[in-house]
Amino acid sequence: MVENGATSSHVLVIGSGGAGVRAAIEAAEHGSVVLLSKTIAGKGGCTPMAEGGYNAVLREEDDPSLHAADTLKGGAYLNDPALVEALVHEAPDRVRELVAWGAVFDVAPGGGVAQRPFGGQQRPRTCYAGDRTGHEMMVTLMDRLAATDVRVVHECAAVELLLDEGRCAGAAALNRDGELGVFLADAVVLATGGGTQVYDISTNSASGTGDGYALGYRAGAELIDMEMVQFHPTGAIQPYDARGRLVTEAVRGEGGRLLNSLGERFMSRYDPERMELSTRDVVARAIATEILEGRGTERGGVWLDVTHLPPEQVEERLPIMLEQFLAYGVDIRKEPMEVAPTAHHIMGGLRITPGCATTVPGLFAAGECSGGVHGANRLGGNALAETQVFGRRAGRSAGLEPERRREVTPAIDRQLGALRRRFDDYLDGEVPPHSVVKRLKLTMWEGAGIFRDHEGLARALAGVEALRNERLRATTRRNLLECCTAENQCLLASLICRAGLLRPECRGAHTRRDPTCELPPDRSPYGHTFLSLASEGIEEVRT
């Protein structure tokens, strides 16, 4: 009983950001591929919005071991070292590949891809195309995708992974008209990106709703380190509707200074050595502390100033920042930007092997929806690199899976039946999804933000669980997806709170006001937090 029949391919890739498209390109070398995109492919996710850059060791004076050391230190040693090794060793090839495919990165004075310093790096390692690096990558990847036989299904959102005898065998999806579609595959790559849209203030695109975490979790996959949410230090704070919009780290990479309302360059109190180019967790906490202690601006931010830089530098290297602030009447060449932390990136995610296999057979994951690469705090510039390195790895692993009989088995049919009943419940529901999501975002900002404690997290979790019990309403079939998305967001929020409660220490982005363990990160007894349908807990490292 499948509307419009089932679509069958060797590999199904879910998500059309940098990781998804890279996975699809790679998988196409091994067989038929369907790329399922919630948005128009290439426009969704956070890759096209990624501004600052892509970390890769390209020059003599740098070395992959330095990149690895920076990534591990920045990640408070919670990273999976095998994943870090893959990242630092393959990021250069992947960026060279993008260049060969036509990416227009900025050029260094001596030729080759230009690189600039980003936070937490011992060498300038961040490749860039002005401050529209991700957009340039996405354009390049879409060009390459067009040269493959990958079938792209636009504006069709996966709502559930389909399981057959413990294997992931495809996904159920809703199209723009609210029709249920079935996509069968021998292997599935989840590349659905992040989910900080569960916070009131977020940099993410509207598609950053954490669908991959929710789909994976419901399919039985294990997730790790879900408490590790990166608050980007610099988000716009006004006007109201633009709050949280990313102000790229490239602003500080180019020499931007952070000032409090007293005009103090306050980073000297928090990290005198690295100053503004400290890691994001440190800078975000510093800004939050300045604001909490009364040295913020009237609107609750701090100043980020590039007025001392030559205007041409701002125009050439930060054109998007210039354009976005000008649109709101602020000329950043002449006046400082007003900024505050904003929820940006989820370091945690599906547990993967270096081959991107999750704990569910047939299911692979890459990009932000996977966990382990960045540990407890991601370095700026490592996410774009991650999309390419692990996108390719996931595509390859999925492509190498053996061919199987792809059919709607009784087990799959039962899942589809359950899904239809869920849809009927939505059509019969009471609460509009936007109402639930609004309350969810405030709850999370309040209880699971930059500074956390047991009581706050527990209260947030209780609030989230209450929201999960509300009966979502779809006005028409076309609104079913909004209900599914709200449900995914609630589940993600729950995972973040639960993982936060599991980790009793301050580690990277996870700042507890009530830590019971105060050992430095490199001597912490704790490993990953883990959550799955089967169990949840925190790994303890035996010493």
Partner 1 sequence: MTRMTVQVSRFEPDAGVSARLVPYEVEVHEGARVLHALYAIHEQDPTLAYRYCCGSGQCGSCAVRVNGKPGLACMTPVVDGDVIEPLDLPVVRDLVVDLVPRIERIAALIPGDRAELPDRETVDAMKDRCDCVECGSCISVCPAVAVSDFAGPTAMRQLERLQVDPRDAEDRVVQARDDGLFNCTSCHACYEACPKDIRIMGKAIERLRAEANRRGFTLPRHLEVSDLVRTTGRSVVRTETPLFERIDPVIEPYGPVRGEVAFFVGCMYSMRLPQTALDAIEVLRRNGIRVVVPMEQVCCGSPLIRTGQLDQLPRVMTINRKAFAPYPVVMTMCAGCGATLKNDYEDLPFRVMDINEVLTEFGIEPPAHLSVTVTYHDPCHLLRGQGISEQPRAFIRQVADLVEMPARCCGSGGGVKSGKPEVAAALGELRREAIAATGAEQVVTSCPFCEFHIAGHTDLPVRNITSLLLEAYRKKDEKEAAASTPPSN
Amino acid making up residue 195? G
* Of the candidate residues 100, 462, 466, 533, the single one contacting partner 1 (CB under 8 A): 100
Amino acid making up residue 368? E
* Of the candidate residues 9, 115, 207, 248, the single one contacting partner 1 (CB under 8 A): 207
* Of the candidate residues 15, 20, 120, 130, the single one contacting partner 1 (CB under 8 A): 130
Q: Is 499 in the site for partner 1 (CB under 8 A)?
A: no
Q: Which of residues 263-302 bind partner 1 (CB under 8 A)?
A: none
Rounded CA gap, 321 and 324, in Å? 5
Q: Is 126 in the site for partner 1 (CB under 8 A)?
A: no
Residue 111 DSSP SS3: coil
Window of 6-14, 140-148, 248-256, 275-283 that interacts with partner 1 by CB under 8 A: 140-148
The single residue of 252, 333, 378, 452 carrying the catalytic annotation is 252
Angle (nearest 5°) at CA 516 between 277 and 539: 80
Tokens 């799959």 found at: 412
Rounded CA gap, 79 and 354, in Å? 12
Q: Is 40 in the site for partner 1 (CB under 8 A)?
A: yes
The answer to whether 162 and 168 are in contact (CB under 8 A) is yes
Q: Which of residues 361-400 bind partner 1 (CB under 8 A)?
A: none
Rounded CA gap, 66 and 249, in Å? 20
The answer to whether 236 and 245 are in contact (CB under 8 A) is yes
Phi, psi of 407 (to 5 degrees): -150, 160
State both tokens at 276: 């503004």
Q: What is the dihedral of CA 371, 372, 377, 378, to 10 degrees?
A: -80
Residues in binding contact with partner 1, number by CB under 8 A: 58
Q: Is 44 in the site for partner 1 (CB under 8 A)?
A: yes
Which string of x and - marks every residue 314-343 that binds partner 1 (by CB under 8 A)?
Answer: -----xx--xx--xx---------------
Which string of x and - marks every residue 401-430 that binds partner 1 (by CB under 8 A)?
Answer: ------------------------------
* Of the candidate residues 1, 5, 111, 273, the single one contacting partner 1 (CB under 8 A): 111
Annotation marks residue 252 as catalytic? yes
Of 449, 495, 502, the closest CA to residue 468 belongs to 495
Considering the complex, what minimum distance in angstroms separates the CB of residue 529 from partner 1? 30
C-beta atoms surrounding 356 within 10 Å: 30
* Of the candidate residues 82, 107, 292, 533, the single one contacting partner 1 (CB under 8 A): 107
* Of the candidate residues 73, 125, 144, 351, the single one contacting partner 1 (CB under 8 A): 144
Q: Is 241 in the site for partner 1 (CB under 8 A)?
A: yes
Q: Is 102 in the site for partner 1 (CB under 8 A)?
A: yes
| DSSP secondary structure of 342-380 | EEEEE--EEE--TT-B-SSTTEEE-GGGEESSSTTSPPT
Q: Sign of dihedral through CA atoms 345, 452, 293, 198?
A: positive
Q: Is 112 in the site for partner 1 (CB under 8 A)?
A: yes
Element (H, E) at 10: strand 6-14
Residue 98 or 492 having the CB closest to partner 1 = 98
Annotation marks residue 274 as catalytic? no
Angle, to 10 degrees, between the axis of helix 64-74 and the axis of helix 81-100? 120
Element (H, E) at 464: helix 454-468
Residue 289 or 475 having the CB closest to partner 1 = 475
Rounded CA gap, 194 and 196, in Å? 6
CA 226 centroid distance within chain: 12
Residue 143 or 518 having the CB closest to partner 1 = 143
* Of the candidate residues 147, 292, 411, 519, the single one contacting partner 1 (CB under 8 A): 147
Residue 236 or 457 having the CB closest to partner 1 = 236
Q: Is 205 in the site for partner 1 (CB under 8 A)?
A: yes
Residue 527 DSSP SS3: strand
Residue 409 or 479 having the CB closest to partner 1 = 479
Considering the complex, what minimum distance in angstroms separates the CB of residue 312 from partner 1? 13
Window of 44-52, 182-190, 293-301, 409-417 that interacts with partner 1 by CB under 8 A: 44-52
Rounded CA gap, 422 and 215, in Å? 15
Partnered with residue 11 across adjacent β-strands are: 33, 187
Residue 58 or 214 having the CB closest to partner 1 = 58
Residue 273 DSSP SS3: coil
Q: Is 176 in the site for partner 1 (CB under 8 A)?
A: yes
The single residue of 116, 125, 144, 232 carrying the catalytic annotation is 232
Of 66, 93, 125, 121, the closest CA to residue 391 belongs to 93
Residue 88 or 236 having the CB closest to partner 1 = 236
Considering the complex, what minimum distance in angstroms separates the CB of residue 164 from partner 1? 32
Residue 388 or 524 having the CB closest to partner 1 = 388
SS3 of 426-456: HHCCCECHHHHHHHHHHHHHHHCCCEECHHH
Q: Is 479 in the site for partner 1 (CB under 8 A)?
A: yes
Considering the complex, what minimum distance in angstroms separates the CB of residue 406 from partner 1? 26
Residues identified as active-site: 232, 252
Q: Note the residues at the interface with partner 1 (CB under 8 A).
A: 39-40, 42-44, 48-49, 96, 99-102, 104-107, 109, 111-113, 129-130, 132, 135-136, 139-140, 142-144, 146-147, 154, 176, 205-207, 238-242, 245-246, 319-320, 323-324, 327-328, 432, 434, 474-476, 478-479, 482
